[in-house]
Structure 1
Amino acid sequence: MKEIILKTIEQVGLELDELSRKIYEKPETAYEEVIACKLHAEFLEKYGFLVERNFCGIETGFKAEYDSGKPGLTVGIMAEYDALPGIGHGCGHNILGATSSGAGIALKSVINEIGGKVIVYGTPAEENNGAKMAYARKGAFDELDFAMMAHPNATYNKCSPMLALGPVSFEFHGKPSHASAAPEEGRNALDALILAMCGINALRQQMKSSSRVHGIVVKGGEATNVIPDYASAQFVVRSLTKTYNEELRERVRNCARGAALQTGTEVNFTDPDIYLDNMISNRTMEQVFCDKMEELFDIKVEEPSEQTGSNDAGLLSKICPFMHPMFGICADEKFAAHTEGFRDATLTDYAREQMRNTAAGLAMTAVEVMTDPKLFAKMKAEFESAEQ
């Protein structure tokens, strides 16, 4: 099966290059990925997948399925293709999506022999309240036994922890007054906001070191000689687990409540609905991917980097075992993501080679899981014992 998968990747390699390049040249931001969605859907249809467009009511989402008709596991492969505002594909989703579609086609080439089903999901808007959350909430992933993807990076690494992210937005209401003639008549909403931020700064001393709280002042007043009767701020809280995120967000809210008490103002909370679960990358499955990359291409996947962030795959990773390794696309200079250098690196010969290698590695990992019941049982045991 290894030879078939490698041959399939070789056969579709130029088309994968073209798919990545076309999406690079026409960057589309969150939920606007009309061209990218069309290119992926037509490409997968060409290779025998049954494609459902407008998936889960999202115009730029799709589900591409191939069922062997034989008993076996069902694997989901996530394809992203949204760009960043202004910079374009600074996160490399043009090459990420091509890698995922390539992996799906490679796995399809052997799935009639091993049994089971392969599904490639087109998942828009990872950079902005992404579609994977919507899919998960609507039960779209419930049929999966396991899921996977690989994200471009400067180097090959196992996945760093992806943090839970929750918003805390608040607004203070006070009483306006002339700041010089009658300051005692006012209730200063901006003072309340500043005190809340001081409290949050002090809270950072008692937070777990892996957690983050960061935010901005949205509004702080209109004129220097008028005591502000309204002020507002937006914060996000990140942490390794959903449980601790909820605890920490409440402590941030208490900073705002205390500030309102001190200043005689009122505080309201206006949190937007953008919660992201922490993502759990299944280390058992990820190690299989690492072994395959070393066996097939003599590529060593390093331990997770210290960099971390959040993404929209957290809820998916709590539905079934999921992996999200990083594949290196930078041959010499190691560009950081969300930069022009990283964006342009996706078009290099080196990046195209790693795209093909990674697509093959993902497909071979899926084959290993689908044909080894003991391995799948080990993955499930890790999944079920993971801290939420």
Structure 2
Amino acid sequence: MSEPSTEAGAPSGPLGSLKERARDAVAGARAELVELSESLYGDPETAWHEVRSSAAVAALLERHGFAVVRGVADLPTAFHATRGTGHRRVAFMAEYDALPGIGHACGHNLIAAMSAGAAIATAAVADELDLTVEVFGTPAEEGGGGKIEMLDRGAFEGLDLAMMAHPAPVDVARARPFAVSHSAIRFTGKAAHAAAYPTHGRNAADAFTIAQVAIGMLRQQLPPTVRVHGVMTSGGEAPNAIPEVTTGRWYVRASSMAELAETEEKVRHCFEAGALATGCELALEPESQPYSDLRTDEAALAAYELNAAALGRTLVTDGPETAMCTASTDMGNVSQVVRAIHPYIGVGSFPVLNHQREFADHCVGPIAERTLSDGATALAWTAIDVAEDWRRES
């Protein structure tokens, strides 16, 4: 990521004046935004438990004149913030859940701060653009599908555009996320003394082993657009007792919802094979609704690309460092009903990657602060461009 000159991205003309004001608003709030990002980083909370994180983001927005409704959609750690009275509604999505055990190794602390900053910047010029600016605090992106729950409960009804930017090793404008399903696996057998009475037991750990071997063999016949992976979370208690219960969590990813459904059936058969071979019972339950592939709004994405480049950012289109753009997100479900973009913005971490413990450390510090400011500014400038297009069309 190249460092821009002090004049990089300086807009000109009437629209440029609005962008200058938006950039100035980001600069004016930068210290607060950095403090927010660092506080989330230092106090990570996992899906559905983001009590302090949600409150911190909401409080910052209130200080900047937003009206905030907490617990929106009957979700305790969700919120909805609004400012302005325009006819067109532009929303920025704030994620703030961390990963179990590795904290903000996906950079959601930066997402929350960037979305808050973008909203503050857009609100500074909202009256001239006939906009209402909104922020949705969206819990449980890391597997819980918070946005899907909010979508089903009508939280996003009537939005004209939804945006967010996600940290990654490098800048990639176009998101191409896999659709994904999340399942909880449970095999139930029968405990017995492993030496004295092995014939009286039904080994739930063996059931899981057979299922994993079957999935490993299945992968030979799966297309490159599919991923199947998971973990065993409990595999037994004592080596001299045949395991009665084993549990796990499993993800299936595919390029579309149709391909996902087809692959899920094949994976289920692998788990059923484990149950059949060992005489155990299988329970396979969804942990959330499936995440969809993403429908990108091309006009908004084109505007974002120009704005990111104007800020001196280098957009990368191929190479191993770009693969984060295929990561699944519940923003995909939102994009099926609301115009949306979900670009990735680099923190200069490559070869350190998302969901590695070291990635969290790249989401604070000077480069991360530059990423925060650029992301907030690029999103706000994109909102301005799209709003100006709407005004010309009306």
The answer on 1:318 being equivalent to 2:336 is yes
Give how far 1:258 is off.
4.2
Q: State the match for 2:250 in structure 1.
A: 235
Structure 1 residues 225 and 84: CA distance shift in structure 2, 3 A = closer
Give how far 1:287 is off.
2.4
Equivalent of residue 113 in structure 1, options 124, 128, 132: 128
AA aligned opposite 1:367: I
The Cα RMSD (Å) is 3.1
CA offsets, 1:35-79, max 9 Å, x none? 33233222212222111112222222211112324x3x2111001
The answer on 1:29 being equivalent to 2:43 is no
Q: Which runs of 5+ in 1 are unaligned?
A: 378-388
Equivalent of residue 102 in structure 1, options 117, 135, 157: 117
1:162/1:280 contact within 8 Å kept: yes
The answer on 1:17 being equivalent to 2:17 is no
Q: State the match for 1:123 in structure 2.
A: 138
Q: State the match for 1:58 in structure 2.
A: 75
CA offsets, 1:266-323, max 9 Å, x none? 54333133233124151512222011111x3232222262243322322212121211
1 CA distance for matches of 2:293 and 2:89? 20
1:95/1:355 contact within 8 Å kept: yes
TM-score, normalised via structure 2 length: 0.82
Q: State the match for 2:311 in structure 1.
A: 297
1 CA distance for matches of 2:56 and 2:187? 48
Segment drifting more, 56-65 vs 367-376: 367-376
Structure 1 residues 227 and 371: CA distance shift in structure 2, 3 A = same
Q: State the match for 1:385 in structure 2.
A: none
Q: What does residue range 162-311 of structure 1 map to in structure 2 within 5 Å?
A: 162-172=177-187, 191-217=206-232, 233-261=248-276, 265=279, 267-282=281-296, 284=298, 285-294=300-309, 296-303=310-317, 305-307=322-324, 308-311=326-329
The answer on 1:347 being equivalent to 2:364 is yes
The answer on 1:337 being equivalent to 2:354 is yes
2:145/2:288 contact within 8 Å kept: no
Give the length in aligned residue pairs. Answer: 372
TM-score, normalised via structure 1 length: 0.83
CA offsets, 1:13-43, max 9 Å, x none? 2222222223333333333333332332222
1:5/1:109 contact within 8 Å kept: yes
1:77/1:120 contact within 8 Å kept: yes
Q: State the match for 1:74 in structure 2.
A: 89
Q: Which runs of 5+ in 2 are unaligned?
A: 1-17
Structure 1 residues 180 and 149: CA distance shift in structure 2, 3 A = closer
2 CA distance for matches of 1:255 and 1:195? 8
1:156/1:326 contact within 8 Å kept: yes
Segment drifting more, 49-58 vs 224-233: 224-233
Segment drifting more, 81-90 vs 228-237: 228-237
